[in-house]
Structure 1
Amino acid sequence: MYLADYTWPELESYFDEKSLAIVPIGSTEQHGVHLPEGTDHIIAEGLAREAATRADYLCTPTINIGVSSHHRQFPGTMWVDAPAFRSYVESLSRNLAYHGVDRIVYVNAHGGNVPHLREVGRRLYEDEVAYAIEWMWDESIPELVTELFEQNGPHAGPKETSMVWYLTENVRAEQLEEAKETGCVDLADVQTHQNGARTFYDAVGNAETGSFGDPSDASKEKGEQLFDAACAQLVELCEWIHSQEFDELMPAGPVSNASAAE
């Protein structure tokens, strides 16, 4: 169920019965010459809403802008500073907790958000406000991604292209070959590290037009496979979290020598 579609009495009934919310989070940033800048939040919202429907959990409105300054050289890319992003997500999460939600799944589709969502989750965990965890769709189905694509790519590659194709068909198919030729098909072909140190900060340093992997290997049919498999993983995750006792999800108490000896 999508929160914004319901009245407050209807939502009160949900909070009386359940304490889990799904929060889709993405970005608005360049995704090569072939994908819309809304790619990440399109994917996050699609998965979050479908999982919420399948499992009858609450899905909030989507956070569309994330930590994306590493794509800033490309026109239209939007971003917020990391502290502002963390503060916003934490405030939203505490808002949910006020209504009785004590388990939150951040359905995230942007790699730049990952460390910040995990930090927010830790803050809520340590304060014993809520059990909030970050979930990245492609990390839930790595075997399928590897099976479908020879050159997967971490950004604007065939997996994201396939997902957008399935969800919206908003793919510039005529630009796929250009994306392959002018992007970075294989990260092994560019210098990303030196003596154990990561040597780049911005995507444009490795990919002229901002895409990684071989997007010409994408298809709507592959997107459907990815979507169904990832959605099933998300539903299982939500069911597992909902089944746990809240106290078991919260931090353990201090360890002492006496308790260890016993």
Structure 2
Amino acid sequence: MIVETMTMVEFEEGLKRTRTVFVPFGSVEEHGCHLPLSTDTIQAYEVGKKAALQISLFVAPPIHYGSCRSTSCHPGTISITTATLKCLMKDIVRSLYAQGMRNFIILTGHAGGSHRMALQDAGEELLPEIPDIRIAVVTEYELASREGKGIIETEGDAHAGEIETSRILHTHPHLVQGRGEREFPSFPTGILVRNKRKYWPNGVWGDPAKATAEKGKRLEELVVKKIVELAAALEQFQE
């Protein structure tokens, strides 16, 4: 059930089938010279929509903005603070709860460390505030990389590389402009830097040349499977 296309009558009827909602978080962030700025959002939203074809599941409209520190100097990246991100998540969950939802799958397509931690912190703060909700916070990339062993050839592939290029080739091939070049960042260990692009010029972490649409299809199917399993586990979870 795709919330943004539903009427209020359809939404109300849907609550008779499930109280579980999938909330996709993404980013507006550079993904090399070959992938769209909305790559993270596209991946997260597509997984939710595919999962909703298999089970009763509300899929909320995606949140397009995230906290993007490592790519903040690259053209096109629009970042928000972790404080704003936390407030967004908590407000959205509270509103969905008021509308009848009880089980929340927060999936982020953006895997930045501060971004992920902000979402997890928000979830932890909501648990004591609303005692009868269940929340899962998961990262799309981590599911794809973990489940995709045997599919992905590039060791350490992480951003705009083999995984993400394959995913967009599968779902939105018209948005892929070439393949990009293999690159791994060389940030100084432990030192915070202002000009992050100096150490990561092309914004790729991996090898997009090895990407294929078939790999993307297989990866997406694996991630969707994990979301379907997670929804069932969350609905049955008891503490």
Q: Is the structural similarity TM-score above 0.5?
A: yes
Cα distance per residue 1:5-24 (max 9 Å; x no partner): 11112211222342110001
Q: CA deviation at 1:4?
A: 1.6
Partner of 2:14: 14
What secondary structure does 1:50 align onto? Answer: helix
Q: CA deviation at 1:31?
A: 0.6
Partner of 2:121: 119
Q: Which has the higher helix share?
A: 1
CA distance in 2, matches of 1:208, 1:19: 45
Runs of 4+ in structure 1 off by over 6 angstroms are: none
Q: Which runs of 5+ in 1 are unaligned?
A: 250-262
Asked which structure has the greater CA Rg, the reply is: 1
Q: CA deviation at 1:205?
A: 4.5
Alignment of structure 1 residues 212-251 onto 2, 5 Å: 212-244=205-237, 248-249=238-239
What secondary structure does 2:53 align onto? Answer: helix
Cα distance per residue 1:147-200 (max 9 Å; x no partner): 422334221111011001101002112x52xx22xx32xx6xx3542xxxx334
CA distance in 2, matches of 1:21, 1:55: 11
2:143–2:223 Cα contact (<8 Å) kept: yes
CA distance in 1, matches of 2:223, 2:147: 11
Q: Which of 162, 166, 171 is the equivalent residue of 1:167? A: 171
Q: Which runs of 5+ in 2 are unaligned?
A: none
Partner of 1:59: 59
CA distance in 1, matches of 2:26, 2:110: 5
Partner of 1:253: none
Q: CA deviation at 1:62?
A: 0.5
Cα distance per residue 1:184-227 (max 9 Å; x no partner): 2xx6xx3542xxxx334575253211111111111111000100
**TM-score (normalised: structure 2):** 0.90
Partner of 2:143: 140
Q: CA deviation at 1:72?
A: 1.8
Partner of 1:252: none
CA distance in 1, matches of 2:8, 2:209: 46
Is residue 122 of structure 2 the alignment partner of residue 130 of structure 1? Answer: no
Q: Which amino acid aligns with 1:118?
A: Q
CA distance in 2, matches of 1:84, 1:160: 26
CA distance in 2, matches of 1:71, 1:84: 18
Partner of 1:199: 191
Q: CA deviation at 1:144?
A: 2.1
**Residues 76 and 56 from structure 1, CA distance in 2 versus in 1: closer, same or farther, beyond 3 angstroms?**
same
Q: Which moved more, 1:137-146 or 1:229-238?
A: 137-146
1:158–1:217 Cα contact (<8 Å) kept: yes
Partner of 1:106: 106
Q: Which amino acid aligns with 1:167?
A: T
Partner of 2:39: 39
1:124–1:131 Cα contact (<8 Å) kept: no
Cα distance per residue 1:106-132 (max 9 Å; x no partner): 121111221011011101112225222
Percent identical pairs in the alignment equals: 24
CA distance in 2, matches of 1:231, 1:10: 24
Partner of 1:153: 157
**Residues 162 and 200 from structure 1, CA distance in 2 versus in 1: closer, same or farther, beyond 3 angstroms?**
farther
**Residues 41 and 53 from structure 1, CA distance in 2 versus in 1: closer, same or farther, beyond 3 angstroms?**
same
Q: CA deviation at 1:138?
A: 3.3
**Residues 162 and 206 from structure 1, CA distance in 2 versus in 1: closer, same or farther, beyond 3 angstroms?**
same
